[in-house]
A and B are shown apart, each in its own frame.
Chain A
């Protein structure tokens, strides 16, 4: 999480998800740099409208899954082939089809845990994290567009005007 100590924000509060989605484009068009938009549920296309880069968490998920798979290949190979090989019915001790279930389970387990862990770390989420809330209603029924005044060249009044024009029901100032 970025250090927002002593930062001053203008917070546009919207009543509707469609309005805020449209507002993002309008606000950007007016030359205002958006810090982030907060909503009580995911709004499709919002991250693209703001200009957030596409997440690469899928690559992490694949790598974690591959690690899980290879771990189980190594474990079954070591235990069943090298450390204590048992020849049953004249078959090779490393009877691959029998190990597919455990390999699959480990792949899924590593993918899930690794990916969710990556998600939490990349978003700065954790049990002791104090949330950065611009408006408590943004987890209920309001859509909040936050603008860092220091990172914008326009004046507070001008940005307020842009937010109002874009459909904001309220425009508040928030100091961290």
Chain B
């Protein structure tokens, strides 16, 4: 039976019925694209085309078109890769960890967050391919028998762990997302009026009919997928951090990197979810589903993870001093007061100071503040990766090889490419697939709805009834 504590605030407002949920979410899938969508899609595609041309030029000319030099051999490319992978983490976290914790507020945001994960990981992978310079040799990263004799990938290398981690993460996230979509695709299939959409949604809904046995098994596999995805989320960014941590470069070789990177990933991922959901709720008129409760809950996680990241920054500094290693000390002093001081302080301001504003309930529940601070967090997290990578490399052990890094037009354009790719994919998703998980919202609506709809139940707001009818067409 549906019982909830009266102290809980509603997650779905507007007295929605089951039929309303279907109607509201399917509207943008079944209707013609809106003007806002067309404009946004047009801009994204133009950016994507420009970016793709630049990426191909990068491959044609070679990585020399980037601003890298002998000292700073990694810069924007890896910064972008780590940043995008980090952004991807929120989706699986919302789907998996919040599912295990039985957090009902995830139901309205999990679908879009999972989609964001998939697209962010695609963007991250594109930087790996770009960084290879010769992407047609990407197969060499896999342990495949080859014509070179006993030449295998080196399983001792964190870069090989990355290949396994990212590809597993992408595959499992895709499966999780798609399996979550199947019941909703069946809903769209059964409502479809045109033959083409009935056929397409029919193929992708895999013949789903919502039988009790199927649902029982479905819930079971969702739980196991959540259970295995939770350590997967943690492992992926831990492994990404080991790309740095297992080296001997001052500023990289630290044991705090795995938890610190994971917290940072969740931090930036939630910020990106906020940005996307705030736009989506307005454009698709989903204010009743993505409420202030959702926004506030996510802001609380941003504050928590932002604080963890802040503590990690301070711990790094302390350990650099406490280690007594002069190279390590220099690396950190150089970060804060060296030539890249502006990047360091931008990072500190955006990541440590700005999310603390969320301690104020008014700011936490403000759409404008949330949007602006989420953008700032994402900028800050990009700077964090930049600071870690470039400031550690540009001053190495030999002062004679010290150098600076400046991005070229191709560094910048390849980054812009990833935005074009991400937003094109996200907009296509928002148009052709339900952005909110309909069946999960329906499952929690009774216990989380603002009120029982009087029009169908005949009872006043707040009054509890034994057998409420959540159907518009009920007698």
A residues with a Cβ closer than 8 A to B are 15-19, 36-43, 46-47, 50, 52, 55, 57-58, 61, 65, 75-76, 79-80, 83-84, 88, 95, 98-99, 101-102, 104-106, 108-109, 111-113, 115-116, 119-120, 122-133, 136-142, 169
Contact = CB atoms under 8 A, between A and B. Distances in A.
A120 B218 contact: no
B235 interface: yes
B190 A133 contact: yes
Interface stretch (B120-128, B415-423, B462-470): B462-470
Contact of B239 (A18, A101, A108, A137): A101
B431 to A, nearest CB: 21
B152 A84 contact: yes
B333 interface: no
Given A38-B210, A46-B212, A104-B235, A95 B143 contact: no
A115 B221 contact: yes
B474 A131 contact: no
Contacts of B345: none
Interface in B205-244: 205-221, 224-225, 228-229, 231-232, 235, 239, 242
B93 to A, nearest CB: 15
B190 A140 contact: yes
B223 to A, nearest CB: 9
Contact of A55 (B22, B217, B239): B217
Contact of A16 (B19, B156, B468): B468
Contact of A108 (B160, B172, B221, B468): B172
A15 B206 CA distance: 26
Given A15-B473, A120-B206, A41 B442 contact: yes
B165 A105 contact: yes
Given A79-B152, A116-B175, A140-B19, A104 B217 contact: no
Contact of A109 (B171, B190, B203, B208): B171
Interface stretch (B64-72, B98-106, B179-187, B297-305): B179-187
Contact of B209 (A52, A122, A131): A131
Contacts of B326: none
B187 A140 contact: yes
Contacts of A116: 175, 179, 221, 225
B1 A46 contact: no
Given A36-B211, A101-B235, A104-B231, 12 more contacts: A16-B469, A37-B211, A39-B215, A42-B215, A42-B219, A46-B215, A47-B216, A61-B221, A113-B175, A133-B209, A136-B191, A137-B190
Contacts of A129: 206-207
Interface string B416-443: 0000000000000000000000111011
A43 B444 CA distance: 11
Contacts of B229: 108, 112
